[in-house]
Amino acid sequence: MSNQPGSVYSFQSSEEKPETHTISVLVDNEPGVLARVIGLFSGRGYNIDSLTVSETEHEAHLSRITIVTTGTPMVIEQIKSQLDRLVPIHSVTDLTVEANAVERELAMLKVAGKGDKRVEALRLADAFRAKVIDTSLDHFIFEVTGKQSKVEQFIQLMQPLGLVEVARTGVAAISRGPEAMAE
Amino acid sequence: MSREKKTDKTGTEMTGAQMVLQALADQGVEHVFGYPGGAVLPIYDELFSRKDVEHILVRHEQGAVHAAEGYARSTGKVGCVLVTSGPGATNAVTGLTDALMDSIPLVCITGQVATHLIGNDAFQECDTVGITRPCTKHNYLVKDIDSLSRVLHEAFYVARTGRPGPVVVDIPKDVQFAKGTYRGVTNSQHKSYNPKTVGEDDRIEKAVELIAKAKRPIFYTGGGVINAGPEASASLRELVRLTGYPITSTLMGLGAYPAADPQWLGMLGMHGTYEANNAMHDCDVMICIGARFDDRITGRLDAFSPGSTKIHVDIDPSSINKNVRVDLPIIGDCGKVLDQMLATWKKRKPSIDKPALKRWWSQIDQWRERQCLAYKTKSDVIAPQYAIQRLYELTKDKDTYITTEVGQHQMWAAQYYRFEDPNRWMTSGGLGTMGYGIPAAVGVQVAHPDSLVIDIAGEASVLMTMQEMSTAVQYNLPIKIFILNNEYMGMVRQWQELLHGGRYSHSYSEALPDFVKLAEAYQGVGLRCEKPGDLDDAIREMIAVDRPVLFDCRVDPHANCFPMIPSGEAHNNMLLGDEAEEKGVGDAISEQGKILV
């Protein structure tokens, strides 16, 4: 789905390769605004790889939505212009293109086990600089922060060591340097 | 109570229902198309005593929205709709989607159940903002009386600025009763929605340079020029005449450039002319103004105008590079950008390549000689094309507005009725809504009570919103419904002939009503014509009647709409009427093409 430019007349998939982009969207924190964004993605067949939302400026009632999406350059361009024309959206920043962004995700992993596996899990957690936020004699809950790839890797390593379940926040991202992302 | 306008910060105390009417009046609304119901009764109560806003009672909410569309498109103003909650709102959805696809400015006010009942599955409750989110430009649920007047004014601002579109304001019944402070129209800038209207100067310069250097240029314009107002059409005419270049337009853009002008090539696209489509295919510079490279226009994308440099002027950045990658995008209002181009052209006085242009025109003349709109006439049965041509000849000198339904008759109207001015042609282009024509004609006639308003219809489409005849009779709106009755859903039948081996599955209009008697039942006038020789007199009679008319024009049931770009083919691979007749149309569409719509 990710590589069609949106016409009934494009038989063959486009030769453009799909890319992954992180898009930061500043919106009015009003009812329905997230539904507008998600509805746009589902209605037009765009992908959502990850999505995080939270109010970031309480006084101004502004929220920041960080979306990681995959598509051909033409589709990515469409996603940005389609987002930008929604009325309650203040700004759309493509952090993959416009800024050398810092991206982080937080994950919490519940790992149950005893003996060697338990020791190994703790050793690896140390290597990944994951924190233990809850524990009993039978389990740990680790908190790990980092790039998506790091979180991904940590989860994979925990798999054979008794991983029970994972909760992830999705990616939050911000541009480097002293300037704000967009007006 | 006093309803004096106050635009200062103090505001005026009134109820929500009064605010609705006051906001409409302050926005210059003279007519509202609507249908009452439980959740809008307080607003209807206000309408009862109010004289400055006239309410037109339709027979179905879909009709209200199409009527407002016709009203908006023929006047350039924002159309206004008032419907109740639940079924009132859901019935409006088709019209709202239609307006969104065709960029028609509308404000639709929907009643909602009281705030405390929302989410309770209350009687006549539906999630109006949820349902209309994807089919409006924007929508609002107003739960707080103090934000109502701001939201109403914002709704009008959003509907008419940028790329126009429909806006829904959903107002719970308790908010309509509540008292609060009304504030008038302000000029303050919107905090997040401020569309760009003026093109970037360096791009305008670049565009003028490209246009001047072109050897095989073409202007390809669309509904955006109409939406930008009559001044935009005037500027377009000036620029096109200054350059001497050929011009074609989409279905939605007809009338922006006069059809009588020698530079006009006719409409382009699936049922466009041979000359327009071939010129699009072979051009070296394409100047697209206010059109969106829709699939009806482009045909097969990978073979769409392969060698051209494309300039695209559009107010909506998301229309740019959506289907077709363009070389020079200019974001801005068509009228403003055209004026900028004109100013730059006049300042720089560029010299154009006259010999190349002459060669280009002689090539175009060869395509024109192909006479792609020629058709066979018979003495005993009316050819639908002939019916439109006669209708055109007999109405062209009058103050005429045309609406249509959707299907073959719509394409024939676009091909054979010639439009000299903008805002005279109302049709459902993007959504292709059968049943658009009668209510749209009602809306046009409300806006232009002394003009001749004709709905060119098909016998199948027209039955979808026939009940609006009753509206026309009630308000003495002498609309003329000119039905090309071929006893088939003609375009469906044509596609079944082309794609499905002539198996006419459920496309025959069986058990049709007697349209003359039907007209009489509605207290309108019914006319019927079956022979080409009687047609002119019958049309004259229709025009002379000062009441709503249903004209049952019996036409050749087997006529197909040509020329046609078969699905999945390129512009230079058109199917023409005479060819199709010779070799049969059964295998005109490839296997790949058959899956397309």
Task: Please answer whether residues A165 and A110 qualify as being in contact, where contact means their C-beta atoms are separated by less than 8 angstroms.
Answer: yes
Q: ipTM of the assembly?
A: 0.89
Identify the active-site residue in B137, B173, B310, B336.
B173
Residues of A at the B interface, defined by Cβ within 8 angstroms: 5-12, 28, 31-32, 35-36, 39, 43, 74, 77-78, 81-82, 84-90
Q: Measure Cα distances from B449 to A85, B115, B396, B496, B542 in Å.
A: 37, 40, 18, 41, 17
Report how far residue A170's alpha carbon sits from residue A104's, in angstroms, rounded to the nearest whole number. 8
Q: Is the alpha carbon torsion for B199, B202, B205, B206 positive or negative?
A: negative
pLDDT at position B581 is 72
pLDDT in tens, A7-66: 444 444 557 899 999 999 999 999 999 999 999 999 999 999 999 999 999 999 999 999
What is the CATH architecture of B384-554?
3-Layer(aba) Sandwich (3.40)
The confidence score (pLDDT) of residue B584 equals: 62
Quick check: A9 and B318 CB within 8 A? no
Query: Read out DSSP for A35-99?
Result: HHHHHHHHHTT---SEEEEEEEETTTTEEEEEEEEEE-HHHHHHHHHHHHTSTTEEEEEEHHHHS
pTM: 0.94
- B320 interaction partners in chain A (CB closer than 8 Å): 81
Q: Do B596 and A8 touch (CB under 8 A)?
A: yes
Domains located in chain A, CATH noted: 19-99 (3.30.70.260), 103-175 (3.30.70.1150)
Q: Which of A16, A85, A90, A183 to mutate to test the interface with B (most CBs of B within 10 A)?
A: A85
Structure tokens that stand for A86 in this block: 């929604």
* Whole-angstrom distance, CA of residue A148 vs CA of residue B128: 38
- For residue B20, CA distances in Å to B92, B133, B183 come to 19, 21, 11
Positive or negative: CA dihedral B27, B435, B294, B341:
negative
Q: Please state which CATH number belongs to domain B12-182.
A: 3.40.50.970
- Who contacts B267 (Cβ-Cβ below 8 Å, separation ≥6)? B248, B249, B250, B251, B254, B273, B276, B414, B415
The alpha carbon dihedral of B275, B276, B281, B287 has a sign of positive
Whole-number pLDDT of residue A100: 79
The pLDDT of residue B437: 98
Same fold, B12-182 and B201-369: yes
Beta strands in B317-374 (DSSP E): 328-331
Pick the catalytic residue: B491, B542, B564, B574? B491
Nearest to B113 by CA among B121, B105, B103: B121
Domain B201-369 has CATH 3.40.50.1220: yes
Instruction: Sheet containing A89-94: give its strands across.
Output: A50-57, A62-71, A19-28, A89-94
Q: Per-residue confidence of chain B (597 residues) as pLDDT tens digits?
A: 344 444 445 689 999 999 999 999 999 999 999 999 999 999 999 999 999 999 999 999 999 999 999 999 999 999 999 999 999 999 999 999 999 999 999 999 999 999 999 999 999 999 999 999 999 999 999 999 999 999 999 999 999 999 999 999 999 999 999 999 999 998 888 999 999 999 999 999 999 999 999 999 999 999 999 999 999 999 999 999 999 999 999 999 999 999 999 999 999 999 999 999 999 999 999 999 999 999 999 988 989 999 999 999 999 999 999 999 999 999 999 999 999 999 999 999 999 999 999 999 999 999 999 999 999 998 999 999 999 999 999 999 999 999 999 999 999 999 999 999 999 999 999 999 999 999 999 999 999 999 999 999 999 999 999 999 999 999 999 999 999 999 999 999 999 998 899 999 999 999 999 999 999 999 999 999 999 999 999 999 999 999 999 999 999 999 999 999 988 888 988 989 888 777 666 666 777 777 777
What is the 8-class DSSP label of residue B38?
A: G
First to last CA, chain B: 57
Model pLDDT for residues B442-453, shown as the tens digit of each residue: 999 999 999 999
Give B232-260 pLDDT, tens digit per residue. Answer: 999 999 999 999 999 999 999 999 999 99
pLDDT at B47: 97
b/e for B87-122, b at 16 or more Cβ within 10 A?
Answer: ebbbbbbbbbbbbbbbbbbbbbbbbbbbbebbeeeb
8 A C-beta contact, residue A92 and residue A105: no
**What is the C-alpha to C-alpha distance for residues B38 and B92, in angstroms, rounded to an integer?**
16
Domain positions in chain B: 12-182, 201-369, 384-554
